[in-house]
C-alpha cells in the first residue's frame, strides 16, 4: 500500500492563465503572448482541439463550410492549408488545429492533462489563484475561460447504468481507439445534431440499431463536394473579402438573410427561394433564408410545412414518418442539423425507431434498455444526449469572485454576463462562448470566438497601458446588456421552444435564451463601440 499526502505546492506566477486549448484558447494564447504577456494554457485533454478533440464519435463532421470555419489571423496559414471538402470530418478538423498549434509553437505554453478545479479572486492584489485537480496552484492577473459553450456532457439519469453488461459511451467522450460495430446490437439515445451523425453512420455498419427518440428534428441534406487545388485557389482569392464579410452577417457565415422577408416576397418567388436554399445543402436554408422565420409564427409554419414535405417523401413507412417529422415546434427554432441519408437509414430492416416521448425509458438493465413497453437487448449503448450548454463548463469549476461569491451559485439565481465577455463581480476574468453573445449558439463558432478573443486581448492591453490592475464591467453596464439581450430574445420564436438553446434540456435549469439574437454583425459593432469609447461601462483601476 502506498501512502500519499497532499503537499502544498508553491504557486507558479503568470500574467494570464487560459483555461482550455480549443479554438478560442489557442487563439487567446497567440494574442496574449503577442503582447508580451507570460501566458499558460491549462487543458484537460492530451492535445489541442477542444470540441474536435473530445467529439470523435463516428460520423462527426463540421456543418459550417470549412472555408469560413478557420482562423484568419495568418495569411501564411490561409495560403498553406487546403480543405479536402466543403464539410470536413472530425479527423481533418483535429489535424488542422494540431497543425496550427505546431505552426505557431503554441504547445510550449500549454500544459495538457490538467483539469482546473477552482479559481479564486483576491480583492487586495487583484489577482486570481487557479487550482488544478492535481493540486497545482497558479497565480495570475488575468483568467480567460475558453472552456467552450457545448462542452459539459449531459448523461441521462436512467437507473441501472452500473448493471449493463455491454458498453455505454457518451459521444463527447468517444474513445480514441476505433469501435467495430459489426455484429453488434447498438442502442442510441438522442437525435440532435450529434445523434443524427451517429445514426446515419452506424446504422449501415451494425447488426441492429435501436434509436430512442424523444423529440424529432428538422434536418437538411448536406451537399458536400470535394475540393481540389482549383477550388482552393478560388477560395484564397476570396479570403480577403470573406474574413471581413463573416463578421458582418447575421450568424458569422458568408451567407446572410434574403433582402426581403417571406411576407414581402410573392408566393412563386418564395417557393423558388426555398427550393434553391434546400438544394444548397448547407445551413443557408436556416440562417441564409427569410429572417421572419424567427419572429413570425405564421411564416414559420409555412416554411416548416415545406421542410416537413421534403422529409416525409424520403421515409418509406408512413408510421415511421409520423414519428420522424416534427410537428410540435417550428423549423429553425432549435439548432438545424445537416444530414446525409439520415432519413433513409430508417428505411433499413436493421434500424428501429422507438418514440420515448410515448414509450418512456424506465431503466438500463443488464441486457439493454427497458421502456414502459418492453426490453431492448443491446451490446452497446450510445448517449448522444448533448450538453449543459453555456454555463455547464464554467459551473463545473469553483469560480469565486469578489466577496467569495460563487459564479455557479449566482448563475443558479439567474445567468448574468456583460456581452458574454465578462461578469460583474469577477474582475480580470474573461469568457468566450459564454451566455448572452452570439458565440453561445447562433454563430459560425470560429468567427465569433476570434472576434471575442480580439476584443478581450485589446481590452487587457488598454487596461495595462493605463496602469490599471483591475478591469471589470460595471453593474449598470451588465444590467443594460442583459435587458437588451432579453428584449431581443423575446421577439423570437426560439424562446417558445424547448431546447438546449433555452437550457431547458437540463433538469432544474431556469429557461433562458443563451445566445444573443441581435446578430453577429450588430454584436461586433457594439463591442467595437465599447472599445472606441475607451471601454465605457468597464471600470479600470
Ligand atoms: P442536443 O442537440 O442537445 O441533442 C441531445 C439529444 O438527446 C436530443 O435528441 C434530446 O432529446 C436527447 N436527450 C437528452 N437527454 C435525454 C434523456 N434524458 N432522455 C431521452 N433523450 C434525451 O445535443 P447534440 O446533438 O450533442 O448537439 C449539441 C450541439 O452541438 C448542436 O446543436 C450543435 O450546435 C453542436 N453540434 C454540431 C455539429 C456539427 O457542426 N456538425 C455536430 C454535432 C453537434 P430532446 O430533444 O427531447 O431534449
Selection from 111, 31, 109 nearest residue 74 by Cα? 31
Please report which residue ranges of 35-157 form alpha helices under DSSP H: 51-54, 75-80, 90-103
Q: Do 120 and 400 meet the contact criterion of CB atoms below 8 Å apart? A: yes
Q: Is the CB of 88 under 6 A from ligand 1?
A: no
Question: How big is the chain, counted in residues?
Answer: 541
Cell 499526502 belongs to which residue? 5
Which helix (H) or strand (E) is 483 found in, with range? Answer: helix 475-489
Residue 203: count of CB within 10 angstroms of its CB: 24
177 DSSP 8-state letter: S
Q: Give the span between the Cα atoms of 258 and 288, in whole angstroms.
A: 6
Instruction: State the pLDDT at residue 350.
Output: 98
All structural domains of the chain with their residue ranges:
12-152+388-536, 153-217+337-386
Selection from 101, 20, 455, 534 nearest residue 247 by Cα? 455
Buried b (16+ CB within 10 A) or exposed e, 435-473: bbbbbbbbbbbbbbbbbbbbbbbbbbbbbbeeebebbbb
Q: Is 12-152+388-536's fold the same as 153-217+337-386's?
A: yes
Q: Is the CB of 214 under 6 A from ligand 1?
A: yes
Q: Do 79 and 229 meet the contact criterion of CB atoms below 8 Å apart? A: no
Cell 479527423 belongs to which residue? 91
Cell 457565415 belongs to which residue? 253
Q: Do 435 and 390 meet the contact criterion of CB atoms below 8 Å apart? A: yes
What CATH code is assigned to 12-152+388-536? 3.50.50.60
Q: Give the span between the Cα atoms of 394 and 399, in whole angstroms.
A: 8
Which helix (H) or strand (E) is 453 found in, with range? Answer: helix 445-465
Q: Is the CB of 500 under 6 A from ligand 1?
A: yes
Domain at 153-217+337-386, CATH from 3.30.70.141, 3.30.565.10, 3.50.50.60, 3.20.20.70: 3.50.50.60
Cell 487567446 belongs to which residue? 28
Measured by CA distance, the residue closest to atom 15 of ligand 1 is 385
Q: Give the span between the Cα atoms of 229 and 188, in whole angstroms.
A: 39
Cell numbers linked to 14: 503568470
Could you tell me the mean pLDDT of each successive run of 10 residues in the chain, 541 residues long?
61 96 98 98 98 98 98 98 98 98 98 98 97 97 98 96 97 96 98 98 98 98 98 98 97 97 98 98 98 98 98 98 98 98 98 96 98 98 98 98 97 96 98 98 97 98 97 98 98 97 93 96 98 98 95
Q: List all residues 6 or more positions away from 399 whose beta carbon is below 8 Å from its beta carbon.
A: 118, 119, 145, 406, 407, 408, 426, 429
Ligand 1 site-directed mutation target among 55, 61, 150, 192, most atoms within 8 Å of CB: 192
Which atom of ligand 1 approaches the CA of 215 most closely? 47
- The distance of Cα 449 from the centroid of its chain, to the nearest Å, equals 11
Which atom of ligand 1 approaches the CA of 441 most closely? 34
Q: Give the span between the Cα atoms of 179 and 198, in whole angstroms.
A: 12
Strands (E), 109-158: 110-111, 116-122, 127-132, 137-145
Q: What is the DSSP string of 366-434?
A: SSEEEESS-EEE-SEEEE---B-TTTHHHHTSEEE-GGG-BHHHHHHH----BTTTB-TT-TTEEESS-
Residue 79's SS3 state is helix
φ, ψ of residue 226 to 5 degrees: the values are -75, 150
Strands 185-189 and 380-383: parallel
Q: Is the CB of 211 under 6 A from ligand 1?
A: no
Q: Is the CB of 332 under 6 A from ligand 1?
A: no
Q: Is the CB of 355 under 6 A from ligand 1?
A: no
Residue 17's SS3 state is strand
Which atom of ligand 1 approaches the CA of 156 most closely? 18
Tell me the CA end-to-end span of the chain in Å, nearest whole number: 53
Q: Give the span between the Cα atoms of 235 and 220, in whole angstroms.
A: 24
Cell numbers linked to 59: 460520423
Selection from 215, 193, 243, 209 nearest residue 69 by Cα? 243
Q: Is the CB of 444 under 6 A from ligand 1?
A: no
Q: Give the span between the Cα atoms of 447 and 243, in whole angstroms.
A: 9
**Model's pTM, two decimal places?**
0.97
Q: Is the CB of 114 under 6 A from ligand 1?
A: no
Q: Do 399 and 119 meet the contact criterion of CB atoms below 8 Å apart? A: yes
Amino acid at each position: 500500500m502506498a501512502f500519499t499526502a497532499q503537499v502544498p505546492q508553491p504557486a507558479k506566477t503568470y500574467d494570464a492563465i487560459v483555461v482550455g486549448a480549443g479554438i478560442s484558447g489557442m487563439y487567446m494564447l497567440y494574442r496574449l503572448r503577442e503582447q508580451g504577456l507570460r501566458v499558460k494554457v491549462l487543458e484537460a485533454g492530451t492535445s489541442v482541439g477542444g470540441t474536435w478533440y473530445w467529439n470523435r464519435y463516428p460520423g462527426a463532421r463540421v456543418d459550417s463550410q470549412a472555408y469560413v470555419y478557420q482562423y484568419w489571423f495568418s495569411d501564411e496559414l490561409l495560403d498553406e492549408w487546403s480543405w479536402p471538402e466543403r464539410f470536413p470530418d472530425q479527423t481533418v478538423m483535429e489535424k488542422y488545429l494540431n497543425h496550427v498549434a505546431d505552426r505557431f509553437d503554441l504547445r510550449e505554453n500549454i500544459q495538457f492533462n490538467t483539469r482546473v478545479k477552482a479559481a479564486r479572486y483576491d480583492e487586495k492584489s487583484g489577482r486570481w489563484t487557479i487550482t488544478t485537480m492535481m493540486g497545482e496552484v497558479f497565480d495570475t492577473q488575468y483568467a480567460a475561460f475558453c472552456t467552450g459553450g457545448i462542452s459539459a456532457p449531459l448523461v441521462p439519469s436512467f437507473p441501472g447504468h452500473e448493471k449493463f453488461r455491454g458498453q455505454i459511451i457518451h459521444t463527447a467522450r468517444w474513445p480514441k481507439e476505433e469501435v467495430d460495430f459489426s455484429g453488434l446490437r447498438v442502442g442510441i439515445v438522442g437525435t440532435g445534431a450529434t445523434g443524427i451523425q451517429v445514426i446515419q453512420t452506424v446504422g449501415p455498419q451494425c447488426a441492429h440499431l435501436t434509436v430512442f427518440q424523444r423529440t424529432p428534428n428538422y434536418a437538411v441534406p448536406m451537399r458536400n463536394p470535394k475540393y481540389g487545388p482549383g477550388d482552393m485557389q478560388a477560395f484564397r482569392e476570396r479570403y480577403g473579402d470573406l474574413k471581413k464579410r463573416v463578421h458582418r452577417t447575421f450568424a458569422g457565415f458568408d451567407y446572410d438573410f434574403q433582402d426581403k422577408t417571406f411576407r414581402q416576397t410573392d408566393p412563386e418567388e418564395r417557393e423558388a427561394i426555398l427550393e434553391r436554399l434546400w438544394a444548397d445543402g448547407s445551413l443557408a436554408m436556416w440562417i441564409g433564408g427569410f429572417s421572419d422565420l424567427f419572429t413570425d409564427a405564421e411564416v414559420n409554419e409555412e416554411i416548416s410545412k415545406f421542410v416537413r414535405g421534403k422529409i416525409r417523401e424520403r421515409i418509406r413507412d408512413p408510421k415511421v414518418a409520423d414519428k420522424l417529422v416534427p410537428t410540435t415546434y417550428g423549423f429553425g427554432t432549435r439548432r438545424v442539423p445537416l444530414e446525409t441519408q439520415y432519413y433513409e437509414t430508417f428505411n433499413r430492416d436493421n434500424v428501429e425507431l422507438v418514440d420515448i416521448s410515448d414509450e418512456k425509458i424506465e431503466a438500463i438493465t443488464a441486457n439493454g434498455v427497458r421502456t414502459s413497453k418492453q426490453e431492448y437487448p443491446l451490446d452497446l449503448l450510445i448517449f448522444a444526449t448533448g450538453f449543459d450548454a453555456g454555463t455547464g463548463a464554467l459551473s463545473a469549476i469553483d469560480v469565486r469572485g469578489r466577496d467569495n461569491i460563487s459564479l455557479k451559485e449566482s448563475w443558479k439565481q439567474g445567468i448574468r454576463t456583460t456581452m458574454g465577455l465578462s461578469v460583474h463581480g469577477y474582475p480580470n476574468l474573461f469568457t468566450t462562448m459564454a451566455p448572452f453573445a452570439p458565440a453561445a449558439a447562433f454563430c459560425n463558432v470560429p468567427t465569433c470566438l476570434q472576434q471575442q478573443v480580439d476584443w478581450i486581448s485589446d481590452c487587457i492591453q488598454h487596461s495595462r497601458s493605463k496602469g490599471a490592475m483591475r478591469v471589470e464591467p460595471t453593474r449598470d453596464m451588465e444590467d443594460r446588456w442583459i435587458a437588451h439581450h432579453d428584449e431581443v430574445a423575446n421577439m423570437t420564436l426560439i424562446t417558445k421552444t424547448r431546447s438546449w438553446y433555452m437550457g431547458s434540456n437540463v433538469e432544474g435549469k431556469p429557461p433562458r435564451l443563451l445566445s444573443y439574437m441581435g446578430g453577429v454583425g450588430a454584436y461586433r459593432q457594439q463591442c467595437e463601440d465599447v472599445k472606441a469609447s475607451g471601454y465605457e461601462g468597464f471600470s479600470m483601476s
